[in-house]
């Protein structure tokens, strides 16, 4: 083990990258500021913390993120292996018990003699020439962020938000019913709260009138469309929620066979089902207002909130201009970035980005040119997002989940409509990834 790499941040990207490098015999100094210091969203002591939802989203390869799961499994990803081992029932989603997930990642890292864990905050960007990877996430602290800003001039802000968690015993099960949309998974992985039209409109009115937390002075209110606060969605139109997170389709009440006007869903937080997450209820409402307004939902009159919703800053660089294709900083080639800092969005995407950065570092250490993932794979789609190849000229770099729109277009017409196109994407991606791995 003659080569050592510094990684700052033992989150989704940093842990994945550390493990990938260690497996290739590269020594890793992994720096993590927890437990001495925490971001406003982190609460666990361990690494690889899922700060909001416990879901890594759909595990179905016909969804781009499900395809990304599959690709990461084929690449022996640490994060996907730990997720598979700590999975909890959640329809076709890959949801985990977050504490067991973090402990599993910690155990896998501890098995590697190549990895030295340092429990301390890093306050300045590492000087070269030794290679270093910064993976400090969307809530990167001021010290490092200032260093990055000086280096990149590309730090941007927008809002992200977390949803409340309710204890199981406080949910009125004479009103809530267990069912997954269209009976996916076990068919009963979610709890559902049916609202009639009057209840729905009263709820929308309450959201609109509720008191909100004012943004900090340094925060410019720019929301990511995939994670809008519930009251912002309500502001966009009275029926927007009924067509979004509260959509009732596929969720007829099995006791009556009837479809409600709207349905609020709760997703399991732990295997035992003691805690349930209000799906899509990320919010900027004040905490007293959240308690008051969410208790007006049918079945939640006596809700005990184990966690309330919050809004957070997100930090990311203008990757197509700041980063080279191998994810190193153009102005400081010894420094690589990974995870949400680059402008990928989501746990799985951040882990995938850590994996890509580790492979780029391995190429650099071996003195060979960077071998990017094949464009038509999910990994390739994310990489195209970061290089700008997936977007039209002049496109403003904004965080993105993995979506098929980031993939190169399919050649010619494809039989079978939307489903047929997805299947064609998946078939092409599987073939291309196989060639890359081998
Ligand atoms: C409030 C909020 C809610 C979110 N909800 C979701 C969601 O529901 N689903 C989803 O897919 N994504 C969600 N995200 C996005 C999520 O953060 C990312 O998807 C993912 O965690 C980012 O991975 P990362 O490795 O880049 O950063 P992180 O996982 O945040 O890891 C960064 C690590 O670096 C450490 N660190 C930071 N600074 C330093 C330093 N100076 N020195 C040493 N260590 C340091 C941190 O303690 C942390 O452990 C949310 C983000 C936020 C902020």
Secondary structure (DSSP) of 40-51: SS---SSSS---
* pLDDT of 433 higher than 70: yes
In the chain, % helix, strand, coil (3-state, to 5) comes to: 35, 20, 45
12 CB near ligand 1 (under 6 Å): yes
Cβ atoms of 118 and 132 within 8 Å: the answer is: no
* pLDDT of 224 higher than 70: no
Order of strands, sheet of 275-278, starting from the edge strand that comes earlier in the sequence: 177-178, 190-195, 262-268, 275-278, 165-167, 305-307
Residue 159 to residues 108, 142, 227, 228, 232: CA-CA distances in angstroms?
33, 17, 9, 8, 12
Cβ atoms of 138 and 313 within 8 Å: the answer is: yes
For 59, list phi and psi in degrees, rounded to 5: -100, 10
* pLDDT of 222 higher than 70: no
311 CB near ligand 1 (under 6 Å): no
Quick one: pLDDT band at residue 225, thresholds 50, 70, 90? low
* pLDDT of 383 higher than 80: yes
Average pLDDT of the chain?
91
Distance from Cα 141 to the centre of ligand 1, integer Å:
11
Q: Of 193-202, 256-265, 303-312, where does mean pLDDT reach its minimum?
A: 303-312
CATH value of 161-313 in 1.20.1530, 2.40.30, 1.10.20, 1.10.10: 2.40.30
Instruction: Give every CB contact of residue 178 below 8 A, 6+ residues apart in sequence.
Output: 188, 189, 190, 191, 192
Instruction: Quote the pLDDT of residue 307.
Output: 77
* pLDDT of 219 higher than 60: no
Percent of the chain with pLDDT over 90: 68
Instruction: Quote the pLDDT of residue 156.
Output: 47
Instruction: Quote the pLDDT of residue 155.
Output: 53
Distance from Cα 54 to the centre of ligand 1, integer Å:
13
- Give residue-wise pLDDT tens across range 17-58: 999 999 999 999 999 999 999 988 899 999 999 998 899 999
Mean pLDDT for 288-297 is 98
**Closest C-alpha among 65, 9, 75 to residue 42:** 9
> Using CA positions, which residue lies closest to atom 35 of ligand 1?
9
Which residues does residue 5 pair with via DSSP β-bridges, in sequence order? Answer: 28
Give helix 378-387 / helix 417-437 axis angle, nearest 10°: 90
**Closest C-alpha among 295, 340, 275 to residue 97:** 275
* pLDDT of 159 higher than 60: no
Instruction: Quote the pLDDT of residue 44.
Output: 94
If one residue of 126, 136, 353 were mutated to test the ligand 1 pocket, choosing by the most ligand atoms within 8 A of its CB, it would be: 136
CB atoms within 10 A of CB 47: 23
Instruction: Give every CB contact of residue 341 below 8 A, 6+ residues apart in sequence.
Output: 13, 134, 135, 136, 137, 138, 140, 148, 315, 316, 317
Q: Please give the residue that has the higher pLDDT: either 43 or 325.
A: 325
* pLDDT of 92 higher than 80: yes
Mean pLDDT for 328-349 is 95
Mean pLDDT for 156-183 is 83
Mean pLDDT for 326-352 is 95
Q: Of 195-199, 210-214, 335-339, where does mean pLDDT reach its minimum?
A: 210-214
Alpha helix positions (H), 264-316: 287-294
8 CB near ligand 1 (under 6 Å): yes
Distance (Å, whole) CA 244 – CA 248: 9
* pLDDT of 218 higher than 50: no
Which residues does residue 41 pair with via DSSP β-bridges, in sequence order? Answer: none
If one residue of 46, 51, 312 were mutated to test the ligand 1 pocket, choosing by the most ligand atoms within 8 A of its CB, it would be: 51
Mean pLDDT for 339-343 is 94
DSSP 183: G
> Residue 417, exposed/middle/buried by CB under 10 A (0-12, 13-18, 19+)?
exposed
Bond preceding residue 414 cis, omega within 30 of 0: no
If one residue of 6, 11, 17 were mutated to test the ligand 1 pocket, choosing by the most ligand atoms within 8 A of its CB, it would be: 11
Q: Which sign does the torsion angle of CA 283, 287, 288, 292 carry?
A: positive
Bond preceding residue 129 cis, omega within 30 of 0: yes
pTM: 0.79
CATH tag, 4-156+315-437: 3.50.50.60
347 CB near ligand 1 (under 6 Å): yes
136 CB near ligand 1 (under 6 Å): yes
Give the domain ranges of the chain: 4-156+315-437, 161-313
Mean pLDDT for 150-160 is 63
Distance (Å, whole) CA 326 – CA 332: 12
Q: Please give the residue that has the higher pLDDT: either 309 or 312.
A: 309
Extract the tokens encoding 126: 């590492």
> Using CA positions, which residue lies closest to atom 31 of ligand 1?
11
Distance (Å, whole) CA 22 – CA 99: 24
146 CB near ligand 1 (under 6 Å): no
346 CB near ligand 1 (under 6 Å): yes
Alpha helix positions (H), 111-251: 142-152, 197-209, 230-235
- The tally of CA atoms less than 13 A away on the side-chain side of residue 373 is 31
Residue 391 to residues 115, 338, 345, 388: CA-CA distances in angstroms?
37, 20, 16, 5
Which residues does residue 301 pair with via DSSP β-bridges, in sequence order? Answer: none
């Amino acid at each position: 083990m003659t080569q050592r790499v510094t990684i700052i941040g033992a989150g989704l990207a940093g842990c994945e990258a550390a493990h990938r490098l260690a497996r290739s015999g590269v020594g890793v100094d992994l720096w993590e500021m927890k437990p001495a210091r925490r971001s406003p969203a982190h609460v666990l002591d361990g690494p690889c913390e899922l700060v909001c939802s416990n879901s890594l989203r759909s595990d179905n390869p016909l969804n781009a993120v499900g395809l990304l799961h599959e690709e990461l499994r084929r690449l022996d990803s640490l994060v996907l292996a730990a997720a598979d081992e700590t999975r909890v029932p959640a329809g076709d989603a890959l949801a985990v018990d977050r504490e067991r997930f973090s402990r599993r990642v910690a155990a896998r890292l501890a098995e590697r003699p190549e990895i030295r864990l340092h429990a301390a905050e890093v306050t300045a960007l590492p000087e070269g020439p030794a290679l270093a990877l910064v993976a400090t996430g969307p809530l990167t602290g001021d010290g490092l962020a200032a260093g990055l800003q000086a280096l990149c001039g590309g730090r941007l802000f927008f809002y992200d938000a977390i949803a409340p968690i309710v204890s199981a015993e406080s949910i009125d099960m004479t009103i809530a019913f267990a069912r997954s949309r269209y009976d996916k998974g076990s068919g009963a992985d979610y709890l559902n709260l049916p609202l009639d039209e009057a209840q729905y409109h009263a709820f929308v009115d309450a959201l609109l009138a509720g008191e909100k937390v004012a943004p900090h002075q340094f925060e410019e209110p720019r929301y990511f469309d995939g994670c809008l606060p519930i009251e912002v969605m309500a502001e966009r139109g009275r029926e927007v929620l009924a067509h979004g997170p509260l959509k009732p389709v596929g969720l007829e009440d099995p006791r009556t066979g009837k479809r409600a006007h709207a349905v609020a869903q709760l997703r399991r937080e732990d295997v035992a089902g003691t805690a349930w997450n209000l799906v899509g209820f990320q919010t900027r409402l004040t905490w007293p207002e959240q308690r008051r307004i969410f208790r007006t939902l049918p079945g939640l009159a006596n809700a005990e909130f184990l966690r309330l919703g919050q809004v957070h800053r997100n930090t990311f660089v203008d990757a197509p201009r700041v980063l080279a294709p191998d994810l190193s900083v153009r102005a400081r080639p010894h420094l690589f970035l990974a995870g949400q800092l680059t402008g990928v969005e989501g746990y799985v995407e951040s882990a995938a980005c850590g994996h890509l950065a580790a492979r780029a570092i391995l190429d650099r250490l071996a003195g060979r040119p960077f071998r990017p993932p094949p464009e038509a794979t999910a990994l390739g789609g994310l990489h195209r997002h970061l290089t700008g190849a997936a977007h039209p000229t002049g496109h403003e770099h904004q965080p993105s989940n993995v979506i098929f729109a980031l993939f190169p277009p399919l050649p010619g017409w494809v039989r079978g409509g939307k489903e047929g196109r997805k299947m064609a994407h998946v078939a092409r991606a599987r073939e291309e990834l196989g060639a890359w791995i081998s």
